[in-house]
Amino acid sequence: MNATDRTPADLLRSALAADPARPLVTFYDDATGERVELSVATFANWVAKTANLLQDDLSAEPGDRLALLLPAHWQSAVWLLAASSVGVVADIGGDPAAADLVVSGPDSLDAARACSGERVALALRPMGGRFPRPPQGFADYAVEVPSQGDRFTPYAPVDPDAPALVVGGLELTGAQSVDRARTDAGSYGLTPGSRLLSGLPYDTWEGLSAGLLAPLAAGGSVVLCRHLDQLPEEGLARRVTDERVTLTVPVPR
């Protein structure tokens, strides 16, 4: 983390420069048994490819609004940082009909069809797998993203004082997102190397901060758990030990 970082994408660039090999996002889906661990470098590569997809194939520009209809998931985290890289406003759970483009998981495809712009669908299958049959009217993210470039350069500079994120009815600029993430990191007591486990959804600032932005701002990492309520208490205790978790945010069970 550098004091000059003013967007979430800046935080990722600083993390990549500091220690590309360290873990950044470890994802569990306790409904399927999936576990994925992404280093800073691997995560940043996914972000770069997704940002190139946004900018080049989907023709997204700074200020465009992206309705992000995805759960707390490692691919959701990738899309959030890709949007920040391009300057697109990530509207989590936003109205597709009012958005310039939409990114949807498999459970929200019907709602996503209200978007008149570009539509991208994610199967959210283990290892980023594609749909067995692509949903009509959508580009399959898993098909489109692998061929994208591994480095990203925005066509236009991203303004840190422009709207960047809408979550839980709260609209924030890139700079405000970073400031709040830093404040949360301090409140949690996160330091470089901290490992925060979160089972919160991404539809509130608290969930998004704990599940990505605060650990990133602190130079730490997140153990992001979906369907954590399906994991027995003894399983959670074992995960905390196995993953060397230093902080667990309260999770309703």
**Does a structural domain hold residue 110?**
yes
The answer to whether 176 touches 167, Cβ cutoff 8 Å, is: no
**Does a structural domain hold residue 2?**
no
Domain of 211, in residue numbers: 8-248
Residues in CB range of 152: below 8 A, 6 or more apart = 47, 48, 49, 51, 52, 55, 85
**Does a structural domain hold residue 3?**
no
The answer to whether 198 touches 210, Cβ cutoff 8 Å, is: yes
- pLDDT band, residue 20 (cuts 50/70/90): very high
Tokens representing 198 are 């979160």
Number of structural domains, the chain? 1
- pTM comes to 0.97
Q: Residue 109: pLDDT above 70?
A: yes
- In the predicted model, what is the mean pLDDT of residues 37-57? 98
Q: What is the 3-state secondary structure (H, E, C) of 24-52?
A: EEEEEECCCCEEEEEEHHHHHHHHHHHHH
- In the predicted model, what is the mean pLDDT of residues 118-126? 96
Coil/strand/helix, residue 196: strand
φ/ψ of residue 32, rounded to 5: -120, -15
- In the predicted model, what is the mean pLDDT of residues 33-57? 98
Tokens representing 223 are 């153990």
* Alpha-carbon span 246 to 243, nearest angstrom: 9
CATH code of the domain containing 219 = 3.40.50.12780
